[in-house]
Structure 1
């Protein structure tokens, strides 16, 4: 059985990426969709979890294809 290598980064919202990875005029709410078209996973760090609502997670799922993976860090362990 083959397992694909998934390349991703820690989060997708980085101010320094605006105008470099993201087009300069790309709205922040479109960044995840743009990111997901170029990379296959993203790490959601534990320090971000307290600020995430179920509604926000639903939008993330809607904005990415079914093959995209969110790697979620929970108290020092990563799960997906």
Structure 2
């Protein structure tokens, strides 16, 4: 599988999870629920404007995969 195809598949997976959370409307008390409820006052002056779909997907993917790298790095340095 090529890079662009993999990246596209990952993006579709992230967007699918976000769409499921949005349609459900339940606060699960997890990171994605918090991101969906969050607002970005630095960019949006109106308190009713949420993150854009792109911002939300980018943030979720960064936390999801950034956390995996951090944990792997910690395990390697302990060995």
The normalised TM-score by structure 2 is: 0.23
Higher relative contact order by CA 8 Å / sep ≥ 6: 1 or 2? 1
The normalised TM-score by structure 1 is: 0.23
Relative to total residues, which structure has the larger strand share, 1 or 2?
Answer: 1
